[in-house]
Amino acid sequence: MGNKQSNEKQISESQISQNSARESQLSKSNITINKVSKQELLSQELIFPSSDNCPSKINVTLKGITFWSNYDSGNLYYVEQVEASTFNLSISEDCHGRIPPVQSNKGTRQWFNFKVVSVADCQANFVIVNIATRFKKIWTTDSDIYVKINKIWSRYPAVYQGFQVKFSFEFKANQIVQFAYMPPWSYKKNQKFFDFYFSQLHPDIYFRRETIAHSLEGRNIELITITKDGPHEQQEYYCPEYLFPDKQLNEGLIKFKKQYILISCRVHAGEVPSSFILKGILESLQNYNESAKFLLENYVFLIIPMLNPDGVYRGHYRLDSLGYDQNRVYNRIVKFPKFNGPLAVLETCKNYNVAFYIDLHAHSVLSNSFVYTNWHPDPSIHQAILEFPKQMKSKVVHFRIKEAMSTQINYEKNQYEIEGIYTEKEENIQKAPDLKIHFTKENLVPQSMNDDCPYSINPYLTGVAKSDVYLTTHVMFSYTLEVNYRFYTKNKQVFKYEINDFVNLGRDIIESLYQVHQNQDFIQIKSQLESNIFN
């Protein structure tokens, strides 16, 4: 690691030595792809190129300084030397130049992750010239990026001006320095985390790790099962044509005689804080304190830690390798069954007695941490739904409550009545042929419970996990948990998030779930729902 030759050996895979070669390659690719309609791309089985050849993976040397991003979660698209020691850097949009994105990839230029090494001591000035305009609220004039030196990540000062991020660095000869939007949680790191996690668990804890699906590019979408061992029975594999590709090699599924808590993560590839939140959840279960012990005795935790591993590997900010936002396809799984991550979520909810579903995210615009909930017309049920975010607010200094949407369910008529402002295309609303959906501009979500929790009216977006899980599988306690990447406000002061804040937020989720079960009103409503609706 101390000399340039060893560095060049490490980064030799899929090298692209000249930016001109990259532009030529992308141009030829676009000519071929433009001859194929979007519908044909969706309907036929495609042979996907290696993800090492995507535009976010480069290796360029200019005047003795080497830049590379051709590794897991790396993203750097183009480097241009504009002065002796100044370099303009461009980051790649999701699916840039590869296939026509099915959804817009504009505004996905946010995540960057690249390494630099110089053959001599020098100072270099860098300008990331194409940060997406939609993220201007998260950047301030004295914003930070993250730098990794000698395996240690730390904040590093940068200046944001006119949708550009500027910073300088003093390099020592042959010193490898990694720059990133924030410390990455890559696909490989996720694999290593669970390799180690199992060995640290309490002996009373049952742990199972298996591949519930493969991504389009063949990466594992894993399902983690954690609970206190107890009575169980064998269960057949569900949705066998798409899920559990290794079922022939494994013993059958085990179904415990208790309820389940499903947690999913990284449907949006660049939302790294959600992985650190999940780390806090898993560490709390591992510590096996009073709260964790109660939950593990009464529930089985099902965890899908990375729903979009291709996007993560490619260094995408939001989309998958086809250009889809997979948190907008939950209502189209039957039509497009290749969305194996969302399919795994829905089928798991259908095949287990799931009581809680929490989808972990990060937010680039709204500050603080908060939970999106669904709304029920019965006030007592709605208050039970709000009990989890109430407990979170009581424990987390940076937590606020935002109710995103009112969703009324008529179980007797098997009909969904969705009240809110709807902005998506009409053809996307159909969830089933016999499904009737009503949209109105009246009767919006009730005001939030506290004045210090700003209320926002967001349109209902079809295909969102927490809403479609709630609508199609009757999991009443279905939530999206969000946290801002960078900062939170409290008493009109701005505070920067540290990585440990995200981990602690995960621990607070476990404590809040435990406290929810100390509320007898909640227990009573939950029991009534289980007897009247789920059974």
454, 402 contact by CB (below 8 A): yes
482 as an active site residue: the answer is yes
Angstrom CA distances, 230 to 57, 89, 204, 255, stand at: 47, 55, 9, 10
Using CA atoms, how far apart are residues 13 and 420, in angstroms rounded to an integer?
Answer: 50
Using CA atoms, how far apart are residues 140 and 142, in angstroms rounded to an integer?
Answer: 5
Q: Which of 482, 498, 511, 530 is catalytic?
A: 482
- If you ran DSSP here, which 8-state letter would residue 233 be given? E
331, 463 contact by CB (below 8 A): yes
Residue type, 183: P
DSSP string, 197-212: HGGGS-TTEEEEEEEE
| Sign of the CA dihedral running 127, 133, 134, 139 | positive
Using CA atoms, how far apart are residues 144 and 128, in angstroms rounded to an integer?
Answer: 13
- Environment class of 29 (CB within 10 Å of its CB; exposed 0-12, middle 13-18, buried 19+): middle
Secondary structure (3-state) at 13: coil
299, 525 contact by CB (below 8 A): no
Residues noted as catalytic: 482
